[in-house]
Amino acid sequence: MSLLADFLVLAGSLLLLLALVPLGYMRRRLPPGANRMAWMFLSGLILLFFAGYLGYAVLAWNRAEHWADLVVPAVFFFGAVFVLVVCWLSAKTADDVMRLCHLEHEIITDPLMGIYNRRHLDRCLRQEATKSRRYGLPLSAMLIDVDHFKKVNDTYGHAVGDRVLQALAQTIKGSVRDFDLVFRYGGEELVVLLPYTEGQGAMVLAERLCHWLADRCLVGRDEQLGCPDLRVTISIGVATFVPTQEEEGQLMARADAALYQAKQAGRNRVVYAAPPAAVPPRAAQTEADATD
């Protein structure tokens, strides 16, 4: 009887030590922060339980004489089984969630520029337009194009062109607010969605970006690739959403038309898209008209 009781306590202690394995795995994968501290706290609790198991084993070693004396060792053993299963399942679930988050990030991110892609733009544009209609919040969009980008590719090669696009995307991303959204629209075109931003605020940001990039060396000299210090200019079309008169697709169409005007006017400039023409409301039919 005492042999069985001692075995249950020792087996429970070993199972508790095994429970530390998945916890250690998760601690190593998580960055410093609250989540990592929570897993460390759980590891400390398990070590405390382990110390309690060993303390009980020392006090009750070889003293079990009746079946009733197996209750506490059995509770200890199955409690350790429970802790081990919960820790393994928690670690596996957390690992699966991290994999899904990484996969989702890859799906919505452009691999070259490191910003959101066109697929995610469509989704975010619908969401922001819905919020604008429902709550009356302003929403603006900037459509940005690199001037004469084909000349960069033809002169220095696509490797240099890729570096220009990467530097441009990260520069624009670092120049907007945290809740502004930057997307690759296609080719060398980028879109910046500006929630809570009226047309005047969007124009101020666009003008600042346009002038700043024109005066800035975007890609440094690279003897290996055979390119000097590179500066590029951009053209920007800006449009503000009018929820009572248009759909979100029309917002992008007006921004695209404004971008075309900026290119036609000589590039390296910003053009604001005129709001859509107001559609007069349909006259309500009176009862007299219906009678007639």
List the catalytic residue out of 188, 198, 207, 248.
188
Beta strands 234-240 and 270-272 are parallel
Q: Where are the beta strands (DSSP E) in 118-180?
A: 139-146
- Buried-exposed string 224-234: b where 16+ CB fall within 10 A, e elsewhere: eeebeebebbb
C-beta of residue 258 within 8 angstroms of C-beta of residue 237: yes
Q: Exposed, middle or buried: residue 183 (CB in 10 Å: 0-12, 13-18, 19+)?
A: buried
Which residues on adjacent β-strands are paired with residue 238? Answer: 142, 272
| Residue among 106, 150, 145 nearest 238 (CA) | 145
Distance of CA 265 to the CA centre of its chain: 37
Q: Which two tokens stand for residue 167?
A: 């530097």
In the annotation, is 246 catalytic?
no
| Residue with the two structure tokens 């544009």 | 125
N- to C-terminal Cα separation, the chain: 102
Positions marked catalytic: 188
